[in-house]
């Protein structure tokens, strides 16, 4: 194993947005079995330290690749394309208006204690996000367009945050 390998290489996967998730899970378990610090409990300090470093690297690779948004950010990073979320916050007006409407809907449903409406919003947003992730997969795997992919990642960051807000609102009503 090469400690400087990218996450995809480490996990034996193609450098692509779409890949076999079962293969990722299998490779993760295999690597953990090889490098887990418990296997080196009686080893010397250097071996223990190296084992811990490898286990950390394997965990980081797995956590990054298993979720679509971190995976997309990582693919952009590998392509030398920064998402620019910190300094590129400009979004199209129609997208921002849509965000305001979503947030108003969540706030109204939460204030009214309308669990059903929050579930409905969650479902609609989930569908919208699935379509956005399909588009993102095409932008990485079929016709690479990192500029557009970076824009879509920034948008998905907004949507992921909104989805968490809806989850929080639902959880608050269930308490």
| Tally of domains in the chain | 2
88 found inside a domain: no
- Cβ neighbors of 46 (< 8 A, separation 6 or more) are none
Task: Identify the pLDDT of residue 129.
Answer: 96
Task: Identify the pLDDT of residue 39.
Answer: 73
Task: Identify the pLDDT of residue 114.
Answer: 95
Task: Identify the pLDDT of residue 86.
Answer: 64
Mark whether 52 and 107 lie in a shared domain.
Answer: no
Task: Identify the pLDDT of residue 166.
Answer: 96
31 found inside a domain: yes
Task: Identify the pLDDT of residue 18.
Answer: 97
Mark whether 61 and 114 lie in a shared domain.
Answer: no
CATH number at residue 39: 1.10.287.110
What does pTM read for this prediction? 0.87
From 66, 85, 101, give the residue that closes a domain: 66
Mark whether 105 and 165 lie in a shared domain.
Answer: yes
Task: Identify the pLDDT of residue 21.
Answer: 97
123 found inside a domain: yes
98 in Cβ contact with 172 (< 8 Å): no
How far is Cα 169 from Cα 164, in angstroms, rounded to an integer? Answer: 9
Mark whether 100 and 168 lie in a shared domain.
Answer: yes
Range of the domain at 56: 7-66
Mark whether 164 and 97 lie in a shared domain.
Answer: yes
108 found inside a domain: yes
Task: Identify the pLDDT of residue 35.
Answer: 85
Mark whether 105 and 60 lie in a shared domain.
Answer: no
Mark whether 164 and 103 lie in a shared domain.
Answer: yes
114 found inside a domain: yes
SS (H, E, C) 29-82: HHHHHHHCHHHHCCCCHHHHHHHHHHHHHHHHHHHHHHCHHHHHHHHHHHCCCC
77 found inside a domain: no
Task: Identify the pLDDT of residue 69.
Answer: 96
CATH number at residue 141: 1.20.1280.20
62 in Cβ contact with 11 (< 8 Å): yes
Per-position pLDDT tens, the chain of length 175: 677 899 999 999 999 999 999 999 999 999 998 887 777 777 888 887 888 889 899 999 999 999 999 999 999 999 998 886 666 567 888 998 999 999 999 999 999 999 999 999 999 999 999 999 999 999 999 988 999 999 999 999 999 999 999 999 999 988 8
Mark whether 97 and 153 lie in a shared domain.
Answer: yes
Q: CA triplet 150, 147, 142: central angle to 5 degrees? A: 90
Task: Identify the pLDDT of residue 175.
Answer: 84
Task: Identify the pLDDT of residue 65.
Answer: 98
């Amino acid at each position: 194993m090469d400690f400087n390998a990218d996450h995809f290489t480490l996990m034996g996967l193609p450098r692509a947005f779409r890949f076999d998730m079962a293969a990722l899970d299998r490779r993760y378990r295999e690597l953990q079995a090889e490098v887990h610090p418990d296997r080196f409990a009686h080893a010397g300090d250097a071996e223990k330290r190296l084992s811990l470093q490898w286990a950390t690297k394997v965990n980081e690779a797995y956590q990054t690749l298993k979720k679509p948004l971190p995976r997309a950010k990582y693919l952009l990073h590998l392509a030398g394309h920064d998402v620019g979320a910190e300094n590129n916050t400009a979004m199209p007006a129609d997208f921002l208006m849509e965000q305001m409407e979503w947030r108003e809907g969540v706030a109204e449903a939460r204030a009214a204690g309308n669990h059903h409406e929050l579930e409905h919003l969650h479902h609609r947003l989930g569908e919208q996000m699935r379509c956005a992730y399909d588009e993102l997969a095409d932008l990485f795997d079929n016709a690479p367009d990192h500029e557009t992919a970076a824009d879509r990642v920034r948008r998905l960051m907004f949507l992921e945050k909104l989805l968490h807000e809806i989850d929080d609102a639902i959880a608050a009503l269930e308490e």
